[in-house]
Amino acid sequence: MKIVIAPDSFKENLSSMEVANEIEAGLRRVWPKARCVKVPMADGGEGTVQSLVDATGGELIQCEVTAPMGERIAAAYGMLGGGKTAVMEMAAASGLPLVPRERRNPLLATSFGTGEMLLHALRRGAREIIIGIGGSATNDCGAGMAQALGVRFIDADGRAISESLGGGMLERVARIDMAGLAPEVRQATIQVACDVTNPLCGPKGASHVYGKQKGATPEMIETLDRNLAHLAAVMGRDLGVEVAERPGAGAAGGMGAGLMAFAGATLKRGVELVAGVTKLDSRMKGAALAITGEGRVDFQTAFGKTPSGVAMAARRHGVPVVAIGGGLADDAGGVFGHGIDGLESATPNAMDLDVAIRKSRQYLQDAAERVARLIDIGRRMARKAAAAGPRQPARKPAAAASAKRRAPVRPQARTRKPSQPVKTPSK
């Protein structure tokens, strides 16, 4: 029996490969001879790099980059098996956790470090880049990244802006010069893992929706939004690309728009990108069961999260899917209408998070064993029902039926009115 095990990571606890290993161990308590195919998965967010490195036999590469507020830091990205595809997370170089809360300021924060990380991977021989852009500290439309890649931003006096651009400086850009863009960028294919559809500007744009969490005041938000609109107009004029209204342009402080405009990138749902790299669809062929999971399963799991991507691939091959969550929300049953056939919780009862994390390996094995045993019960029930054969409708005894057929049909008696007395003529 072939079983595909394709979970996401359990954040701040186990990588997706570690989760898959524990699920396999639990299944083997019941099915020791099962053929388990482990496919580490992710949805483009935290854990994506490690998942794809594990899935392809790749390696982690260290590089030095510029953090959002200007200091130099170490960042890591993955070079996948084969050495031609790099996978990275913008958060490793330009993420919000890299900036202490009291220093967060999207007017100043720059994505320059993300550009440095991209260039490092390209100069190591990568010809395809997959980049997740969640969790950024910036709101600069990817201008800082573009500077690191060789793009020049010219001010009204005709001078190149030398400072790393932040969201508060975009109004200074009068012209964009792409002549210095690194040739490796033009030769590469860049795909962006992006699950949001926000436009660049306006009430649903980058600044208004995400600015506050990056430290922006209401006044800053208005400035940032105005500056993004200004840069979008310059990009449209100088680069000939209109990106402001494209779905996902407002992701990561406008990094979605920046990658499309400056690097020719395409945006795609994160779990679809990961499924393509891991060849999830082809691995589903011939499987009897697929098991997926993530740290917490709720109704949103059905929309763009790893279990939903696994369920889509499994459905194409008629493979049933069970999701194991570190915990299950009250609305987790909503996933049943979206391709997930069964649910199980790793945690057997209510407990503190630190206890659940400490015992997570044991709990995952136990949950997988419970799933296998329940499936075995269903299989035994199915075999018993098949052995009994199809149920026939109840039949009446033959003699009674024959007698009924021979019984004569009696005419129905007519009702008669009571007789009237006969009148005699009087004498």
Instruction: Convert the pLDDT of each residue in 336-362 to its tens digit.
Output: 999 999 999 999 998 999 999 999 999
Rounded to a whole number of angstroms, the CA Rg of the chain reads 33
3-state secondary structure of 133: coil
Residue-level pLDDT at 398: 56
Whether 392 maps to a domain, the answer reads no
The rounded distance, in Å, linking the Cα atoms of 41 and 38 is 9
State which amino acid sits at residue 203.
P
The rounded distance, in Å, linking the Cα atoms of 170 and 180 is 19
Quote the domain boundaries for residue 105.
48-271
- Determine whether 70 is exposed, middle or buried from the number of CB atoms within 10 Å of its CB (0-12, 13-18, 19+): middle
Q: For residue 409, give the H/E element and its range.
A: none
Task: Say yes or no: 232 and 92 in one domain.
Answer: yes
Is residue 101 scored above 70 in pLDDT? yes
How does DSSP assign 226-258, residue by residue? HHHHHHHHHHHHHH----TTSTTTTHHHHHHHH
Of 245, 48, 256, 261, residue with least CA distance to 138: 256
Task: Say yes or no: 347 and 379 in one domain.
Answer: yes
The rounded distance, in Å, linking the Cα atoms of 27 and 45 is 28
Check: CB of residue 296 under 8 Å from CB of residue 327.
Answer: yes
Hey, what are 205's tokens? 């744009």
3-state secondary structure of 426: coil
Which residues have C-beta within 8 Å of that of residue 161, sequence separation ≥ 6? 152, 153, 154, 155, 169, 172, 173
Residue-level pLDDT at 425: 45
Residue-level pLDDT at 399: 53
Whether 400 maps to a domain, the answer reads no
Whether 234 maps to a domain, the answer reads yes
Q: Which residue has the tokens 């660049």?
A: 200
Residue-level pLDDT at 416: 47
Whether 417 maps to a domain, the answer reads no
Which residues have C-beta within 8 Å of that of residue 180, sequence separation ≥ 6? 150, 151, 152
The rounded distance, in Å, linking the Cα atoms of 208 and 200 is 10
Check: CB of residue 69 under 8 Å from CB of residue 99.
Answer: yes
* Domain count of the fold of the chain: 2
Q: Which residue has the tokens 């997959």?
A: 130
Hey, what are 231's tokens? 């840069």
State how far the alpha carbon of 331 is from the alpha carbons of 299, 301, 342, 371, in Å: 6, 10, 14, 20
Whether 62 maps to a domain, the answer reads yes
Task: Say yes or no: 296 and 221 in one domain.
Answer: no
E strand residue ranges, 80-125? 85-89
Residue 98 DSSP code: G
Task: Say yes or no: 131 and 62 in one domain.
Answer: yes
Whole-number percent of the chain with pLDDT over 90: 85
Check: CB of residue 176 under 8 Å from CB of residue 238.
Answer: yes
The rounded distance, in Å, linking the Cα atoms of 248 and 334 is 26
Is residue 423 scored above 50 in pLDDT? no
Is residue 427 scored above 80 in pLDDT? no
Hey, what are 178's tokens? 């792409």
Q: Would you place residue 390 in the very low, low, confident or very high pLDDT band (cuts 50, 70, 90)?
A: confident
Whether 113 maps to a domain, the answer reads yes
Q: Which residue has the tokens 């790393």?
A: 164
Give Cα 279 distance to the centre of its chain.
Answer: 16
**CATH number, residue 148:** 3.90.1510.10
pLDDT tens for 252-285 read 999 999 999 999 999 999 999 999 999 999 999 9
Whether 202 maps to a domain, the answer reads yes
The rounded distance, in Å, linking the Cα atoms of 381 and 375 is 10
Task: Say yes or no: 336 and 207 in one domain.
Answer: no
Residue 76 DSSP code: E
**CATH number, residue 346:** 3.40.50.10350
Check: CB of residue 131 under 8 Å from CB of residue 89.
Answer: yes
Q: Which residue has the tokens 């005894």?
A: 397
Task: Say yes or no: 209 and 82 in one domain.
Answer: yes
List beta partners, residue 64: 74
Confidence (pTM): 0.82
Last residue of a domain, one of 350, 369, 386: 386
Is residue 300 scored above 90 in pLDDT? no
